[in-house]
A and B are shown apart, each in its own frame.
Chain A
């Protein structure tokens, strides 16, 4: 950085001027002149302080005064020119400011020709001057030569970064360039919105890619950025420019090395850490990426950190508005809950979605920031889309339109850039002026973007863990806890897709991690159980069912069952909400009905579900002709004086959706041994039986039965179990939904 932010330059200039003043010959006139110079120097120092405080108007007034007092004080002209230049934008209305700034800087150069900072600042001003942009490069060349002569590494790096930007902007104007073929004359953004096939068809059928387009400019940009980073290894812009090129060219090893070098040279620069994190994450080194991102976030100012971690861009608009209304503490809590709920795999120590979010933010900062326009990448249209949907698999750009009869006047003179996500058929079109790292949504795309945002606020399709993610079926059954606790005992029957996870894997066996994670609605851990075991990958006898148990008080929860093979990095998960109810101690109640492939008592007089061998059916999916085994517990049945209970059990099978009507069900086993009990119906069958049994000192009574669905057609069924206590007259009902399917789980 130069100018007011560069005290050494200021001090040097002041000292030089002071020395000149002190070395001047005597005499009254000379003394007067010396006094004027000394006063001018003080004014410049004052102006510097004022500018640092943000009082630019007062600073300019002081500087103008200084230039009048000492017309040959180059530093005063330079600082005045720089302040005016910083105030001026590139709009037409700022023409006079730019002209005044240019005059001041040129005056400074005329007074002190060898000062590279003057040329650098004038070059930057030229970049804001339309056709004057062409002269910017010459100024930067002069600045570079002067800086090299002085050995000023900071200005060399800064100037190299400016030159790198010039060439890189030229390259960007040609990057991903496509030539329209056949009868195509322009890409129509409105058609891309209205016709879902247009973007794909247009790109594949009516355009051809131009290879190596703009390569010379890219190589020159890279050379300049690299020279800047060599002159000053910690220089932010030179490193950012170079890293952007390396990443876009998939030169990830180079990116990693350069990012490490940048970080080593500028350990306190949080951007260096964030860029390193981005590289490490893209290389699949999640743990190291997490550490780099953590360091980067810690190094940011609270304001910058808040902008980087702000979730507004990836929430629906209404949610984002609510989010913006939260206090800092509430937002931090919301962020924690959001990312905890979104973690694709709790089994890994890292949160892959959070890492991807930070990587996307770092990439947006790296590639879409435009310092000359005071834009940070994540605030730009392209940055926002990148944050939501990740790297676009297809990018195409078209030359600026020159036809003023174009359907969209805003497109005239602008490069049209198309981002296409084939898998979800998302397409985004941007217009941007050549030579600037800036583009805005084309046509009506802002509205399309909002629609898409509502349907799909964010997607992490490109995260590797999601690419190999399978699903786990989980059947949760709630039982009353023991006599001594009020909690409810939950049994999670999980079907790990071990066979599918092992498909195409050339290993006999390997480790598998699996676990149960239960959280409360605020995503605070209630239970975490992790297990590790070795499984045989292609064994027919490999059991896929795993059972977890947990005792929980009544309330709302979320649970996840996850499995992961570290060797193959394949994973699976099943997750759902969980509402846990209390079991009353007075009225008749039923546990959930366990749906299994087989249930058999281990004891002659079982006291509860623990006394059964259960081969669960986690997905509650049965093959046609299969047997459905049911197990449940009954609580608070009223016993008579002989400690016997007497109840009716009714099992109702009702069709929810089915291909053909008419089926039968027959009880083939269970505690009653009621083989032969058969019922038939069009869309519902009901089997009812009566039980008399001694309760003894048991606090619950288990029930179990096996149902042969016989010719039940493929479809979805509702099973209802109704228990009616003959003594108290109370009834209790439990319901399950299951499917009959010929598709393997």
Chain B
């Protein structure tokens, strides 16, 4: 009996080999110890209360060790399940706790865009405008009632909010309650604004436009073989167009888009994020691609990371990639010469459907928790 109790105690307190590499005590040993202690204690109480021998394993010398072994065994099995779950959850990155602030939303959010000091959250009820910063001040709900909202863009200087939808491009004041107007009819599958220039994804085409008192198409639209899902400007002269099948570079010559080069993907691409000379392409089950885009004529794959089951979105800040993994949470990766190196996985941020790097922090959407979260960036 004494030996069994000692063993149980030893299991719970044993250092060194019983610790996992990340410093976590394997729960199978912990729970085995707890189980052994609890059942051992109960058996001891029983043995002290009933001293007579009624046959079978009713003596203290039998009851206590058997109980300890049984309790330890059950605890071990429970703990092993916990360890296995832990291993499944964190198979591609260790746990990571992120600090930040949360803003509850009144709608199911779809996407987040950060422009200067403004965070735009699109969702089922419109566009929630939030001031970027530690306090996440709510500035108002725009485009109320508009359904099928896709991409959005903003221009603080012009007090302009552009909202793409399945019906057309709508124009709203960024601040103020004035209603919006239809600026460009037709399906808008993606959009990106850069000053007075606007890049529009029109389903299977991409169109350059100019923003003035109205939105006017400039030049002829460029046809793509697959649906345009995202667009992004790089500097003044380069636009990147992501279709479901490829990332294409278009140079700006006068008022025309000129195709420069493209990088195809074997899976459906979803979002693109440009950070200096690197493009991050979120490719769903295909993982996350990092592309070297210094030569637009020949964008080259740097690395592909497929740790997440499905990459919904990604953003990069100071060499750190933040990957929206949906129900898995937020993966944090460091881009090195050897590829992506997992920094950690934060599971406490809900169903991360979109992520965006702001000038001061990382912003992400929790779709099931209906929240916008602002995270303090990770050190480089």
**CB contact between A258 and one of B172, B181, B285 (< 8 Å): that residue:** B285
Return the CB mask of B178-210 against A: 1 if under 8 Å, else 0: 011110000000000000000000000000000
A305–chain B nearest beta-carbon distance, Å: 30
Residues of B within 8 Å of A508, CB to CB, are: 179-181
B84 within 8 A of A: yes
Indicate if the CB atoms of A257 and B88 lie closer than 8 Å: no
Stretch at the interface among A88-96, A248-256, A674-682: A248-256
Complex CA gap A250/B366 in Å reads 13
Known: A250-B368, A254-B310. A566 touches B167 (CB 8 A): yes
Query: CB-nearest residue of chain A relative to B286?
Result: A257
Residues of A within 8 Å of B310, CB to CB, are: 251, 253-254, 257
Chain B interface: which size bin? 35 or more
A150 within 8 A of B: no
Complex CA gap A351/B177 in Å reads 37
Query: CB-nearest residue of chain A relative to B177?
Result: A506
B263 within 8 A of A: no
A20–chain B nearest beta-carbon distance, Å: 43
Indicate if the CB atoms of B268 and A216 lie closer than 8 Å: no
Between B81, B179, B268, B327, the greatest number of chain A beta carbons within 10 A of the residue's beta carbon is seen for: B179
Known: A254-B326, A260-B268, A566-B167. A507 touches B181 (CB 8 A): yes
Indicate if the CB atoms of A505 and B144 lie closer than 8 Å: yes
A220 within 8 A of B: yes
**CB contact between B180 and one of A216, A249, A506 (< 8 Å): that residue:** A506
Known: A249-B327, A253-B312, A257-B285. A504 touches B145 (CB 8 A): yes
Complex CA gap A284/B108 in Å reads 15
A215 within 8 A of B: yes
B85 within 8 A of A: yes
Indicate if the CB atoms of A567 and B147 lie closer than 8 Å: yes
Return the CB mask of B39-83 against A: 1 if under 8 Å, else 0: 000000000000000000000000000000000000000000100
A569 within 8 A of B: yes
Query: CB-nearest residue of chain A relative to B168?
Result: A567
**CB contact between A506 and one of B89, B168, B172, B270 (< 8 Å): that residue:** B172
Complex CA gap A561/B126 in Å reads 29
Indicate if the CB atoms of A507 and B84 lie closer than 8 Å: no
B184–chain A nearest beta-carbon distance, Å: 13
Complex CA gap A569/B146 in Å reads 8
Interface residues of B in 270-325 (CB under 8 A from A): 270, 284-285, 309-310, 312
Indicate if the CB atoms of B285 and A567 lie closer than 8 Å: no
Known: A507-B180, A537-B179. A215 touches B146 (CB 8 A): no
Indicate if the CB atoms of A507 and B327 lie closer than 8 Å: no
Complex CA gap A691/B145 in Å reads 54
B26–chain A nearest beta-carbon distance, Å: 15
Indicate if the CB atoms of A506 and B88 lie closer than 8 Å: no
Complex CA gap A424/B147 in Å reads 27
Complex CA gap A538/B145 in Å reads 13
Residues of A within 8 Å of B284, CB to CB, are: 253-254, 257
Indicate if the CB atoms of A504 and B144 lie closer than 8 Å: yes
Query: CB-nearest residue of chain B relative to A219?
Result: B88
A568 within 8 A of B: yes
B72–chain A nearest beta-carbon distance, Å: 21
Known: A254-B310, A506-B179, A507-B170. A569 touches B147 (CB 8 A): yes
Complex CA gap A538/B179 in Å reads 10
A510 within 8 A of B: yes
Indicate if the CB atoms of B145 and A568 lie closer than 8 Å: yes
**CB contact between B88 and one of A220, A504, A505, A567 (< 8 Å): that residue:** A220
Query: CB-nearest residue of chain A relative to B185?
Result: A511
B118 within 8 A of A: no
Indicate if the CB atoms of A284 and B148 lie closer than 8 Å: yes
B165 within 8 A of A: yes
Indicate if the CB atoms of B148 and A506 lie closer than 8 Å: no
**CB contact between A253 and one of B81, B84, B177, B270 (< 8 Å): that residue:** B270
Indicate if the CB atoms of A568 and B179 lie closer than 8 Å: no
Complex CA gap A511/B88 in Å reads 51
B30 within 8 A of A: no
Query: CB-nearest residue of chain A relative to B86?
Result: A216
A293–chain B nearest beta-carbon distance, Å: 20
A314–chain B nearest beta-carbon distance, Å: 28
A556 within 8 A of B: no
B143 within 8 A of A: yes
Residues of B within 8 Å of A544, CB to CB, are: none
Complex CA gap A257/B284 in Å reads 8
Complex CA gap A265/B155 in Å reads 45
Known: A216-B81, A250-B368, A253-B312. A506 touches B142 (CB 8 A): yes
B88–chain A nearest beta-carbon distance, Å: 5
A509 within 8 A of B: yes
Return the CB mask of B315-350 against A: 1 if under 8 Å, else 0: 000000000001100000000000000000000000
Complex CA gap A223/B180 in Å reads 47
Indicate if the CB atoms of B327 and A251 lie closer than 8 Å: yes
Residues of A within 8 Å of B179, CB to CB, are: 505-508, 537-538
Residues of B within 8 Å of A223, CB to CB, are: 88
Query: CB-nearest residue of chain B relative to A216?
Result: B85
Interface residues of B in 80-119 (CB under 8 A from A): 81, 84-85, 88-89
Query: CB-nearest residue of chain A relative to B83?
Result: A216
Indicate if the CB atoms of B148 and A569 lie closer than 8 Å: yes
Residues of A within 8 Å of B182, CB to CB, are: 507, 509-510, 567
Return the CB mask of A197-230 against B: 1 if under 8 Å, else 0: 0000000000000000001100110110000000
Interface residues of A in 521-551 (CB under 8 A from B): 537-538
Indicate if the CB atoms of A216 and B309 lie closer than 8 Å: no
Residues of B within 8 Å of A568, CB to CB, are: 145-147
Q: Which 9 pairs, one residue from A and one from B, show the smallest C-beta to C-beta distance?
A: A505-B145, A569-B147, A216-B85, A506-B144, A568-B145, A254-B310, A508-B179, A219-B88, A506-B179
30 contacts between A and B (CB under 8 A): A216-B81, A216-B85, A219-B85, A219-B89, A250-B368, A253-B270, A254-B284, A254-B285, A254-B326, A257-B284, A257-B285, A258-B285, A284-B148, A504-B144, A505-B144, A505-B145, A505-B179, A506-B142, A506-B179, A507-B146, A507-B182, A509-B181, A510-B182, A566-B167, A567-B145, A567-B147, A567-B165, A568-B145, A568-B146, A569-B147
Sample of 18 further A-B pairs with CB below 8 A, known A254-B310, A257-B268: A216-B84, A219-B85, A220-B88, A222-B309, A249-B327, A254-B326, A505-B146, A506-B145, A506-B146, A506-B172, A537-B179, A567-B145, A567-B147, A567-B165, A567-B168, A568-B146, A569-B147, A569-B148
Residues of B whose CB lies within 8 Å of any CB of A are: 81, 84-85, 88-89, 126, 142-148, 165, 167-168, 170, 172, 177, 179-182, 267-268, 270, 284-285, 309-310, 312, 326-327, 351, 368
Residues of A whose CB lies within 8 Å of any CB of B are: 215-216, 219-220, 222-223, 249-251, 253-254, 257-258, 260, 284, 502, 504-511, 537-538, 566-570
